[in-house]
Structure 1
Amino acid sequence: VYVPNPLAEKAWNTIMESGAPHGIKPAGLAARDTLRLEMGFCLYGNDIDDTTSPLEAGLGWITKFTKDFTNSSALKAQKEKGVERKLVAFELLERGIPRHGNTIVDEVGNVVGRVTSGTMSPSLQKPIGMAYVPKAMAAVGSDLRVDVRGKVLQGRVVELPFVKNA
């Protein structure tokens, strides 16, 4: 909803009063971010950007490979060859909250991936996130190691959406 600044307070009050019988409550960006992550929706700048392809992000289903578009030949070649990394959903099996920029490490501590989004899910009561990992680590049920503030925590790749029947 866009309104001129002088009308913002009145618009807010009208919306809140009209919604009161329906249980309306204000929600900020953190709530929106948690809800979109629980559904597995990508956030531009975190989960997808100009360095990721729709195929890596699991968004090939919205790409029309029958049409030409900017960089379509490279994307079609990637579809034929396969991707080297994939965006996966994961849950932590230990206490900790994954955050954007945390790393995914292998058994000896080498960085093999990066967390793009993460939070403590109030709906699931557990830490969840999304990360780019090598294709070999992307299968549902695969174990992950997430470095959260210098502590390596155990995680597992899970199916999206995190919250079913929402």
Structure 2
Amino acid sequence: GRAQYSCFPNNKGGIVDDLIVYKLSNEEYMLVVNASNMQKDWEWVSSHNDVAVELENASDQYCLFAVQGPKATTVLQKLTDVNLSKIKYYHFAKGAIAGASDVIISATGYTGSGGFELYVKNAEAKTVWDAIFEAGRKEGIKPIGLGARDTLRMEMGFCLYGNDIDDTTSPLEAGLGWITKFTKEFTNSEALKAQKEKGVSRKLVGFEMIDKGIPRHSYILENEAGEEIGTVTSGTQSPMLNKGIGMGYVKTEYAKSGTIIYVAVRKRKLKAEIKKLPLVTV
């Protein structure tokens, strides 16, 4: 089966949430949203269900394991008869893994490092968890938290809802024009189409620090003259680049790769350079 990254546009030009849509059959789809927005998204979908679609909130029935990295296929293949090497990026298969049945094995992830996301029924989750760590013992598998994942997704330029996109940011401003097609009508499509034709006034960009320092969420971005041109939405120290990196919105005229900008850190101005995303290629 196939999966598609997408978003729920709201009525004001912003984004309710971003999500992955799984096509399970011609008449059955699974929407995977951000856990922190689960109730918000359920209410949004329910309130916009004007064609009597049968809806079920199955969030509390499943666990999600993100087995990521270049060794993920080797490790997981020990636990399933499904040929994992045949599952293309943003495709999935259903099958047994570590004795658990009907697991959705999805070639997706939020790290840019390759791997799979496994949707496992709660009753079988501990068995699968233990089996994954036993299978990956030789390869040095480790449980990794959200901090590491956040660093990886920033190196790739992946948006984080609540930071880089939210109810006030347009998908076009956020560089998500590739999921904003106007071949059919959708919520606020006319306004977004008009925005595309007119052009956006700001764009989400990635940047690398030239001066030593780590950009943080809400720091002001300035031009050489000290004029405010935007705001940092995400920032961290990149282990791969050994320097500070960030994402943020800047006025469109400053969005070109190679443009020098400055991050206002207390009373200092730290030099940075706009870079084409992803910041790290693996």
- With the length of structure 1 as denominator, give the TM-score of the two structures: 0.90
RCO comparison, higher one (Cα < 8 Å, 6+): 1
1:1-166 aligned within 5 A: 2=63, 13-164=130-281, 166=282
1:58 partner amino acid: G
- What whole-Å deviation, never above 9, does each CA across 1:117-160 have from its counterpart, x for those lacking one? 11110011111111100001000111101112332100110011
SS in 2 for 1:112: strand
Paired residues in the alignment total: 163
In the alignment, is the contact (CA less than 8 A) between 2:223 and 2:260 conserved in 1? no
CA distance in 1, matches of 2:130, 2:182: 48
2:151 partner amino acid: T
- What whole-Å deviation, never above 9, does each CA across 1:70-113 have from its counterpart, x for those lacking one? 11111000010000000011001010001111110233433221
1:136 partner amino acid: E
In the alignment, is the contact (CA less than 8 A) between 2:205 and 2:247 conserved in 1? yes
CA distance in 2, matches of 1:14, 1:66: 45
Q: Which runs of 5+ in 2 are unaligned?
A: 1-61, 64-120
1:135 partner amino acid: T
1:106 partner amino acid: N
1:65 partner amino acid: F
CA distance in 2, matches of 1:110, 1:136: 13
**Dislocated runs of 4+, deviation >4 Å:** 10-14
2:138 partner amino acid: P
CA distance in 2, matches of 1:19, 1:105: 46
2:226 partner amino acid: G
Give the superposition deviation at 1:13.
Answer: 4.7
Question: Over the residues paired in the alignment, what is the CA RMSD in angstroms?
Answer: 1.9
Give the superposition deviation at 1:18.
Answer: 2.8
CA distance in 1, matches of 2:160, 2:139: 29
Check 1:4–1:72 CA distance in 2 against 1; reply closer, same or farther (3 A cut). Answer: closer
2:268 partner amino acid: K
CA distance in 2, matches of 1:148, 1:28: 27
CA distance in 2, matches of 1:58, 1:12: 35
1:114 partner amino acid: T
CA distance in 2, matches of 1:25, 1:146: 35
SS in 2 for 1:157: strand
